[in-house]
Chains A and B, each alone.
Chain A
């Protein structure tokens, strides 16, 4: 089971990099949906005894992160009619380099942290790197929609961190977090839609201009 967990965590990191390296919004959304699916599988794989807690967590995560939110984001890009991130603040190659630096930092930090992921040793570095790459996307992309994707990755990282304590965290807390994210992304999507309506663009930089 450990190697399966490792494989899933590898794929999570690779999907982080896929978001960093692609300009096409639909590919980014697909990558983040895949990440959601992988995160949904994780509680089942880590917790070998299929408790109701783990199954519920997995089902909820897959439903929200792999199906509902990506579908909603796809709706948003269709409404806003954007296909590509044209001018990121940091180029894609540089983003990948930043991602690698984040990876190195994550592993270095995870080594000195007092807590351990138990059987899944890679869990904490993966969580850290997903948070950092999510933040990078959030900061460096100009399109508001990709910023939502970055926010989602940030949340995925926090969720991964939570999995280290999966047995101790009550189900309700997890459900609450999922609901929060859901509502957050929903609101952001509607905001993106309205930004697009008002400004004919979803570049966040335009928001500095005041409109009546």
Chain B
């Protein structure tokens, strides 16, 4: 029984890791279709990743070991974070009380190294991007914690597996509208955390206006592939949280739970594309209000659950 369960958990994780670049492809394709273009194929990112990994890396002479370590740390923290989520709708590979703090902490560690790597190049553009990225992250994190606390109240557990997995199913009927609020909150925070429109425009070509992309200017070849892949995995992790909140699947057979996860991730990808094609990027000074509104949704949910 436990061996079979472990196998299903690994299968869910495998689906997430393989499908991760697809979510970005779908978001791009949706945006292209809605804005009247044909756009790249949805699996373009796989081809890009392959091409990049076959290339050699070029390192600026001002960089040190930190810069070379960055892509590895970013990928490692993201992968480790993905083992904490109950992807098959029941339990995660790793689960302990308070692991939502570990989840947020791992993502923060990845970001910390990303920023260190950017600062290490000595480029003023990258420093500026790093400063903006950290500013947004400091606003996103409290919101993320509020939403996690609300989820833990709803699920009655302190671990991600408890709040998103099997226990949530039992109470979902009673708290469904609140769960929609929390999913909305996570969606807004995802747009900010994963540097999508309206917080950041991933398609911009001007260094001055970049936030996340500008930190990758000096990263090349396999290193760039690692960071891009980690970014895609991070986006699909947030998408998986949204799917877990909205579609509790602990009573379903494992294969259909995993299929629903895949469908849900594709759905979130389409939603991201719709947001990107209907909203303009916000002015920098408006971003805190946007993130605060997302956190307010989470707080609203928390208040409703505590009443």
Contact = CB atoms under 8 A, between A and B. Distances in A.
A7 B179 CA distance: 12
B157 interface: no
Contact of A103 (B177, B292, B303): B303
Given A7-B177, A96-B289, A17 B296 contact: yes
B293 A21 contact: yes
Contact of B307 (A3, A96, A107): A107
A3 B177 contact: yes
A96 B293 contact: yes
Interface in A49-106: 92-93, 96-97, 99-100, 103-104
A99 B181 CA distance: 16
B176 interface: yes
A92 B289 contact: yes
Given A10-B177, A93-B288, A111 B307 contact: yes
Given A6-B177, A10-B177, A104 B293 contact: no
A21 B293 CA distance: 8
Interface string B281-307: 000000011001100100110011011
B278 to A, nearest CB: 15
Interface residues of B, number: 14
B143 to A, nearest CB: 12
Interface string B167-187: 000000000110001000000
A125 B177 contact: no
Contact of B293 (A3, A6, A17): A17
Nearest to B290: A21
A13 interface: yes
Nearest to A7: B177
Nearest to A10: B177
A107 B300 CA distance: 11
A12 to B, nearest CB: 12
A21 B181 contact: no
Contacts of A99: 296
Contacts of B307: 107, 110-111, 125
A130 B293 CA distance: 17
Contacts of B303: 100, 103-104, 107
Given A103-B300, A104-B303, A96 B177 contact: no
Contacts of A110: 307
Contacts of B288: 93
Contacts of A7: 177
A103 B307 CA distance: 11
A78 B296 CA distance: 32
B296 A96 contact: yes
A10 B303 CA distance: 12
Nearest to B176: A3
A5 to B, nearest CB: 10
A7 B176 CA distance: 10
A13 B304 CA distance: 12
A17 B177 CA distance: 17
A7 B177 CA distance: 7
Nearest to B181: A10
Interface in A144-188: none
24 contacts: A3-B177, A7-B177, A10-B177, A10-B181, A13-B300, A17-B293, A21-B293, A92-B289, A93-B289, A93-B292, A96-B292, A96-B296, A97-B292, A97-B296, A99-B296, A100-B296, A100-B299, A100-B303, A103-B299, A103-B300, A104-B303, A107-B303, A107-B304, A111-B307
Interface of A: 3, 6-7, 10, 13, 17, 21, 92-93, 96-97, 99-100, 103-104, 107, 110-111, 125
Nearest 8 Cβ contacts at the A-B interface:
A93-B292, A107-B307, A100-B299, A93-B289, A92-B289, A96-B296, A96-B292, A6-B177
